[in-house]
Structure 1
Amino acid sequence: MHKLLEKLYGWSYPLLKKLDIGETFSAYVSLAINIVLLCTIAYFIFQLFRYFLVRAMIIIARKSKTRFDDFLVTNKTAKYISHLIPLLFIYKSVPVILKNFVYWEDIFGKLVGIYIVILSLWITKTIFNALRDYLKQNPSYRDKPIDSYIQVIMIVLWIFGFFIIVSKIFDINTGRMLGAFGAISAIIILIFRDTILGFVASVQVSLNDMVRIGDWITFDKFGADGDVIEINLATVKVRNFDNTTTTIPTYSMISDSFRNWRGMINSPGRRIKRHILIKATSIRFLQEDELGELKKIHLVSNYISQRQNEINKFNAMHEVDKSLLINGRNMTNFGLFRKYITQYLSQYPGLNKKMILLCRQLQPTPQGIPLEIYAFSNDKRFENYEYIMADIFDHIFASIPYFDLEIYELSSDKFD
């Protein structure tokens, strides 16, 4: 190779020397001719290899069953490799062309060597990007923080590339530089603190399956409420439901508390947990004529008849004086209303009957008695879930007057 290059570049100087134009001038003219020749040959090598490599890669990608080579084409890996081949040719040619210009030979040799290192790292990056795109097509890896791992690998490679470049510029042994690097590692850890924390956090997030791409999360500290669209080494990006984007430091995912709604999405129903406040003063015992009127409500008609028979038998057995309603056993409008809502929920088509379904009374408050609906909707989509919940409570609000109950309202209490 060396002898071939000497023949390629060594013809001009003897020819110019025969013209008797001076040794120094002949050397510089010969150098100029060789530089032009080198650039021309390097250009043709680049065009030739780019043409064949790019087309060969496209042909292979079309014929192969795997999609990895398709992503190599998309990320222009072949194009960058075609830059590397003429650079290697230039790297070998520089010592031959500049053998009589030692100072410039050293400078240009280092510059070409540095460019080769940078280009090699860039080619490696395109290969990893193709691997990332390929893995993201696989459902098993689609929700994994692949970007984080690739970023860590590239950071390590760029650090080694930096040491190689510095060792070439200053003619320092790479091993000695790595030793010095170990000595100043504490400073480097301080500088790259967020990166290191982000890497550790991304590994823990992945291993513990805390969050995946596509998960709906709520992170009150950062005002995030939406779907995770990207998990990087340093940040987690969330597209909020108002179409804004929130960026969360990755290490905050393990240091702070957030809510992941994946369990709800994977479950057979989405929880409805909402209450209304009933005025305590509107709760009372029901009289016989009122029960007769309420029997017209189909959902509680049979219940009233059965319950009324049980109560009458009990009161008769214990000879209860029913001149006062408080004596013995009685039905209340609030208790009957709870039964009605329970029956209504059990027949409502939008609820999952295999999961918990309750209409319950909570601890009394100064504003009234909370009546809570605890159930699960079949449809977990946001707009349908809200419609189901609103439809249920619309019916509850409309049903309350039939049982002579009142809802607590601050304005009505204030001005009564």
Structure 2
Amino acid sequence: MSYFSHLFTTLEPYPWAITTLQLTALLLLVWLVNVLARHLLARALARAARVALTQWDESLLGKGVIGRIAQVVPALTVYYGITFVSGLPPMVVPVVRGIANAYVVLTIALAIGNLLNALGQVYEQRDPERAMARPIKGYLQLVKIILYLVATILIIATLFNRDPLLLLSGLGAMTAVLLLVFKDTLLSLVASIQLSTHDMLRVGDWIEMPQLNADGFAIDISLHTVKVQNWDKTITTIPTWRLISESFKNWRGMFESGGRRIKRAIYLDQTSVRFLTPEERERLRRFALIDGYLDRKRAELEEYNEKLAAEGKDPVNTRRVTNIGTFRAYVQAYLQAHPQIHQQMIMLVRQLQPGPTGLPLEIYCFTSSTAWVEYESIQADVFDHLYAILPEFGLRVFQQPSGADVSAAIGAHVRSFVAAVEPAHRAPHP
């Protein structure tokens, strides 16, 4: 102490030297406090966090929460230590203390923001299924917006030495401006609450929104945006509020039901529809799926036709079995016997309104697998079989004439004409 007293006595004629020495000492102290805070306080808090939080400690430590808290100590050292430095201009001390105080507020706000990020990560790790069903990312982002807004007000009040309540009262006059600036944020907040409350969207849901070219799985739900990874691996970003103001399709119900719908028609040539002859009916009895149907139909028609004959009606009024009706019964029985068609869901085979493209015979059923690849394989397998077996019932698939069909028709007509004309040319002339 005598050495320092002698030093200050020696430097007393040079005030600037004393000020420089004190500032140097303060900077060294700040550096030392920073080292101690980072290496001792941070380690102590990290060890306490590991003991208290066990499996979630990495989420909190990895987000820099403790590192941000440790930075408060050097700022407080500057805040209190600058008052012991002599010879500074009158305005320097309050300015430095204001900057240090603002830095403390900023550091604490960033630390709380990092803590919110860590809590979001802990929430997702603790119960991933609940996190997908009830994401809290949007709420955490809203809290951070409010936090940073309050921190900004406190920093401005500290730097300009004003009462924070005075600044907050001034914000009342700026309500209209704030509503305009934060319009999307407020709309997104309401949309996030509605999406979460009504369970309209979860991470991992397959959604379709054609007006925004979105068709794929939701991979992220935040306060302002929802990210959808489309089937072509592109990412579509949708404003959260548009999911409430506009319609979108969510395929989650299909996956949860355990069945995926097949709704496709076979277009039949209407000129191939006819009655079956007795010989054709006997031949179709080879199909085990419809032999019972043919027996029931024969008994029903015989009973009906016998009543007509007893009443003396004309034979034109008798009922007969058609090939399209028999094929429809076969398709129904085939679907009921198919191991990969969901038997507890609606299943029907129906005729639609005939048109210029033929007579549509629609198959409406559900597969027992909701996976896309398996679903397409099952659907193709069903229609492969039905197209291949159509000729057995005397039916033809309708197809628009192509160039090859027209060429074949013209060739057949030319050959028939040549065959008719050649004998006349070969006959001897009188």
Please, what TM-score do these two structures have when normalized by structure 1?
0.90
Q: 1:99 to 1:275 in 2, by over 3 A?
A: farther
> Which residue number in structure 1 is paired with residue 382 of structure 2?
392
Q: How far apart are 1:249 and its partner, in Å?
A: 0.5
Task: Tell me, yes or no, if the aligned pair for 1:275 and 1:371 is still in contact at 8 Å.
Answer: yes
The one-letter code of the counterpart of 1:88 is L
Cα distance in 2 between the residues matched to 1:381 and 1:205: 26
The one-letter code of the counterpart of 2:331 is I
Say yes or no: does 1:316 pair with 2:291.
Answer: no
Cα distance in 2 between the residues matched to 1:367 and 1:334: 17
Say yes or no: does 1:237 pair with 2:230.
Answer: no
Determine helix, strand or coil for the equivalent of 1:171: coil
Say yes or no: does 1:339 pair with 2:329.
Answer: yes
Q: How far apart are 1:114 and its partner, in Å?
A: 1.5
The one-letter code of the counterpart of 2:103 is Y
Q: 1:20 to 1:163 in 2, by over 3 A?
A: closer
Deviations 1:350-406 (A, max 9, x none): 111111111111222332222111111111111111111111111111121111112
1:371-390 counterparts in 2 under 5 A? 371-390=361-380
Q: How far apart are 1:45 and its partner, in Å?
A: 1.8
Say yes or no: does 1:248 pair with 2:238.
Answer: yes
Task: Tell me, yes or no, if the aligned pair for 1:54 and 1:73 is still in contact at 8 Å.
Answer: no
Q: How far apart are 1:106 and its partner, in Å?
A: 2.1
Say yes or no: does 1:409 pair with 2:360.
Answer: no
1:102-141 counterparts in 2 under 5 A? 102-137=90-125, 138=127, 139-141=129-131
Determine helix, strand or coil for the equivalent of 1:319: helix
Is 246-255 or 160-169 further displaced after alignment? 160-169
Cα distance in 2 between the residues matched to 1:223 and 1:325: 61
1:14-413 counterparts in 2 under 5 A? 15=6, 18-19=9-10, 22=13, 26-64=14-52, 66-97=54-85, 100-137=88-125, 138=127, 139-319=129-309, 327-411=317-401
The one-letter code of the counterpart of 1:297 is F
Task: Tell me, yes or no, if the aligned pair for 2:358 and 2:398 is still in contact at 8 Å.
Answer: yes
Q: 1:97 to 1:142 in 2, by over 3 A?
A: farther
The one-letter code of the counterpart of 2:277 is Q
The one-letter code of the counterpart of 1:105 is V
Task: Tell me, yes or no, if the aligned pair for 2:16 and 2:87 is still in contact at 8 Å.
Answer: no
Cα distance in 2 between the residues matched to 1:141 and 1:392: 39
Structure 2, unmatched stretches of 5+, are: 410-430
> Which residue number in structure 2 is paired with residue 4 of structure 1?
none
Task: Tell me, yes or no, if the aligned pair for 2:19 and 2:88 is still in contact at 8 Å.
Answer: no
Task: Tell me, yes or no, if the aligned pair for 1:57 and 1:69 is still in contact at 8 Å.
Answer: no
Deviations 1:318-353 (A, max 9, x none): 2189xx985311111111101000110011111111
Cα distance in 2 between the residues matched to 1:47 and 1:18: 32
Q: How far apart are 1:35 and its partner, in Å?
A: 2.1
Q: 1:37 to 1:214 in 2, by over 3 A?
A: same
Q: Which has the larger radius of gyration?
A: 2
Over the residues paired in the alignment, what is the CA RMSD in angstroms? Answer: 2.5
Cα distance in 1 between the residues matched to 2:256 and 2:11: 88
Q: How far apart are 1:256 and its partner, in Å?
A: 0.5
What number of residue pairs does the alignment pair up?
403
The one-letter code of the counterpart of 2:324 is F
The one-letter code of the counterpart of 2:177 is I
Cα distance in 2 between the residues matched to 1:325 and 1:366: 33
Q: How far apart are 1:61 and its partner, in Å?
A: 4.7
Cα distance in 2 between the residues matched to 1:64 and 1:233: 31
Q: Percent identity?
A: 34
The one-letter code of the counterpart of 1:205 is L
Determine helix, strand or coil for the equivalent of 1:246: strand
Deviations 1:268-291 (A, max 9, x none): 311111112222222111111111
Determine helix, strand or coil for the equivalent of 1:145: coil
The one-letter code of the counterpart of 1:315 is N
Cα distance in 2 between the residues matched to 1:320 and 1:359: 35
The one-letter code of the counterpart of 1:104 is V
Cα distance in 2 between the residues matched to 1:364 and 1:283: 12
Q: How far apart are 1:50 and its partner, in Å?
A: 1.7
Is 128-137 or 265-274 further displaced after alignment? 265-274
Cα distance in 2 between the residues matched to 1:210 and 1:150: 19
Is 218-227 or 87-96 further displaced after alignment? 87-96
> Which residue number in structure 2 is paired with residue 3 of structure 1?
none
Cα distance in 1 between the residues matched to 2:97 and 2:180: 35
